[in-house]
Structure formats: structure tokens, C-alpha cells
């Protein structure tokens, strides 16, 4: 069974802390994504990677960075967490040419106090 694993389901951090969200997929997918999900806003793309060490900004990259050192792992980094980054973060992956067929992790709910 295909799997996208987000290591932290729930996190509580303080303003100004550095936050790492990890995502691992076991399907040998080229594409990996980080989305943010907020009520009434659907999913918004933060960053996207189509290969190791390659990344592209999504619609809302401000305040975030990413790292993809290995094909199976895609990390989202909040350098200095702020309260407006309290949200659900979803990682997804797909094959290079399967534009819309994404496989999602179960999400990481981050609360910044």
C-alpha cells in the first residue's frame, strides 16, 4: 500500500521558534508538495519539488523554506514561527507526469502560541 508519512501529527510551538515538518514517501515519486489547509480556504500550495534539491515557490511561500536532500523526503521549515502560521500542513507526492493524482499524508496540525 502506498504511503506518505508525516512524522508529527500535532505540534505546539512558541512564537519565534524554528519548526521542522518532515514528510517521507515510499512510492519513488518525483513530485512532492507542501500545502497549508485553513477552513474555508481549501488547500494552498506553499512549496513544490520535482526532483532532489529542486524546489519551486507556491502561492504562499513567505515565512517558509523547504529541503529535499533525498528523493523520498521533503521537509518544511518555519524559520521563526508566528501565530498566523497556526494551521494544518499537508504533504503530498505524485509521479512526475501525473499532474492531479496526489497522494497525501494525514497532516500535521501546528499551533503557534
Of the candidate residues 26, 51, 56, 79, the single one contacting another protein (CB under 8 A): 56
Percentages helix, strand, coil for the chain (3-state, rounded to 5) are 5, 55, 40
C-alpha cell of residue 43: 488547500
Whether the CB-CB separation of 62 and 46 falls below 8 Å is answered with no
**CB 75, min distance to another protein, A:** 17
Spatial neighbors of 38 by CB under 8 A, at least 6 apart, are: 44, 87, 88
- Does 92 help bind another protein (rule: CB under 8 A)? yes
Distance in Å from the first CA to the final CA of the chain: 37
Of the candidate residues 48, 66, 68, 112, the single one contacting another protein (CB under 8 A): 48
- Does 40 help bind another protein (rule: CB under 8 A)? yes
Q: Which is nearer to another protein, 53 or 100 (CB)?
A: 100
Q: Which is nearer to another protein, 15 or 52 (CB)?
A: 52
Chain residues that interact with another protein, rule: CB under 8 A: 4, 31, 33, 40-45, 48, 50, 56, 58, 90, 92, 94, 96-102, 104-107
Amino acid at each position: 500500500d502506498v504511503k506518505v508519512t508525516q512524522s508529527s501529527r500535532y505540534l505546539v510551538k512558541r512564537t519565534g521558534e524554528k519548526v521542522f515538518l518532515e514528510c517521507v514517501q515510499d512510492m519513488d515519486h518525483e513530485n512532492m508538495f507542501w500545502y497549508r489547509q485553513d477552513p474555508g480556504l481549501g488547500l494552498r500550495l506553499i512549496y513544490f519539488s520535482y526532483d532532489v534539491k529542486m524546489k519551486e515557490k507556491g502561492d504562499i511561500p513567505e515565512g517558509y523554506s523547504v529541503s529535499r536532500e533525498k528523493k523520498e523526503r521533503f521537509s518544511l521549515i518555519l524559520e521563526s514561527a508566528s501565530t498566523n502560521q497556526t494551521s494544518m500542513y499537508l504533504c503530498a507526492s505524485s509521479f512526475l507526469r501525473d499532474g492531479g493524482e496526489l497522494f497525501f499524508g494525514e497532516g500535521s496540525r501546528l499551533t503557534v502560541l
